[in-house]
Amino acid sequence: MGTANIYVDRVTKYYGRVRALDNVSLSIEEGQIFGIFGPNGAGKSTLFRTISGLTRPNYGEVFVRGAPVSLNYTRVRRHVSQLLELPEVYDYMTLWEYLRFFARMGKVEPRLIDGLVWDWIMNIGMIDQAHQPIRGFSIGQRQRMEIARAFLTNAKIVLLDEPFIALDIAITERLHRYFDDWVREGRLIVITSHNLDAALKFVDEFAILSRGRVVDRVSMTDQHEVLITVRTDDAAGTAVTLEGIENVVIQSVGATDVKVQCGQETVPEMVKRLVEDGAVIYEVREENLIEALYRRALKNARRR
Ligand code: ADP
Ligand code: MG
């Protein structure tokens, strides 16, 4: 992976008294699909608006390919493609006209435009709708249309806010292939989702946003990591034993339980060592690390 394509530097954003983003720092490198996951109201859409320059943070700055967004609005808009809110202004256009219009705006070479537009109409599975006006499209169809538009404008960075709402599985899987090819050419796709299951298989890395803060950052190379909860009568002693095992990271020590993070393959060794040390174990519970982190973010959000 290359340089930081997006660098969010201590960004805080208020809407009146609502703090939508709270001192967020995040750097996202090119050449990957990056996820921003979090429950509704976490600040995902606001973060996208600050990255694409549609809204100004109260504090902090976002840098897109090294350029501060607040000083380089036009330049940033050229690099960054974001799904528009449903674009009523274009309602009278057909899908074909709409995509051609944006391909021209996106400075696609004129002789390539028609071919590319047709490719994308096919990619999003909307050949039957090509000459229908956008006006009658469902939310799912509009979302597909906007994904095509994002790619046709030749942007280096594509921000997709909740693309999985109303997208069916077949289309989603097809798009995944294009996303992968596309980022391998050194571009960056950032996807937000409130639904971890839908988005997880798409991303290489992701951040979890909760109540306007980045609470975790996880790489998919961690996907075989587990969170183990050991319930015991001697939490302190158990923590000492576990801490001595290679690749085991202690997460917390409570009155009657110890939580550790480790690779799945380490679990038998852990159990063996605890038994050898004569620990009294009531329960060993295993959870997938990524799911456990996300559940924790959801729980914190509810406590708001
Ligand atoms: P998400 O996209 O993760 O659901 P948002 O960024 O839309 O979260 O919202 C974050 C917080 O900011 C929420 O509390 C939301 O109500 C508030 N918010 C978002 N946009 C506005 C706005 N234009 N005016 C007032 N409050 C807003
Ligand atoms: Mg949102």
Domain ranges (residues) in the chain = 4-220, 223-303
Q: Do domains 4-220 and 223-303 have the same CATH topology?
A: no
Tokens of 88: 């009523």
Q: Which one is the CATH code of 223-303: 3.50.50.60, 3.30.70.250, 3.30.479.30, 3.40.1350.10?
A: 3.30.70.250
Q: In this structure, are strands 205-210 and 32-37 parallel, antiparallel, or unpaired?
A: parallel
Cα 154-131-90 angle, rounded to 5 deg: 60
1 compared with 191, residue with greater pLDDT: 191
Give yes or no for residue 87 having a pLDDT over 60.
no
Q: Quote the percentage of the chain above a pLDDT of 70.
A: 95
pLDDT the model gives residue 144: 87
* Sheet order of strands, 225-232 included: 249-253, 257-263, 225-232, 281-288
**Three-class SS of residue 94?**
strand
The ligand placed nearest to the CA atom of residue 165 is 2
pLDDT at 1: 41
pLDDT of residue 218: 85
Cα–Cα nearest to 113, from 89, 97, 130, 132: 97
**Is there a contact between 207 and 29 (Cβ–Cβ < 8 Å)?**
no
Indicate whether 304 pLDDT > 70. Answer: no
Mutation test residue for ligand 1: of 19, 36, 45, the one with most atoms within 8 Å of CB: 45
Q: Using CA atoms, how far apart are residues 206 and 118, in angstroms rounded to an integer?
A: 32
pLDDT for res 166: 66
The atom number, within ligand 1, closest to the CA of 209 reads 3
State if residue 50 touches ligand 1 by the CB under 6 angstroms criterion: no
pLDDT value at position 113?
A: 94
What's the CATH superfamily of 4-220?
Answer: P-loop containing nucleotide triphosphate hydrolases (3.40.50.300)
Q: Across all residues in the chain, what is the average pLDDT?
A: 88
119 in Cβ contact with 170 (< 8 Å): no
CA of 161 relative to ligand 2 center, distance in Å: 7
pLDDT tens across 180-220, in order? 888 988 889 999 998 887 788 889 999 999 999 998 888 88
Q: Are 271 and 264 in contact (CB under 8 A)?
A: no
- Report DSSP letters for 198-224, one per residue: HHHTT-SEEEEEETTEEEEEEEGGGTT
Which of residues 71 and 79 earns the better pLDDT score? 71
Q: Per-residue pLDDT for 32 more than 90?
A: yes
Predicted TM-score (pTM) of the model is: 0.82
Which phi and psi angles does 171 have, rounded to 5°?
-65, -45
State both tokens at 129: 């709708």
**Choice between 198 and 267, residue whose per-residue pLDDT is larger:** 267
Q: What is the pLDDT of residues 97-146, one digit of tens each?
A: 999 998 988 778 899 999 999 999 998 989 999 999 999 898 888 888 88
Q: Is residue 14 predicted with pLDDT exceeding 80?
A: yes
Between the CA of 215 and the centroid of ligand 1 the distance, in Å, is 18
Which region among 2-16, 79-93, 177-191 has the lowest average model confidence (pLDDT)? 79-93
Q: How many whole angstroms from 26 Cα to the centroid of ligand 2?
A: 18
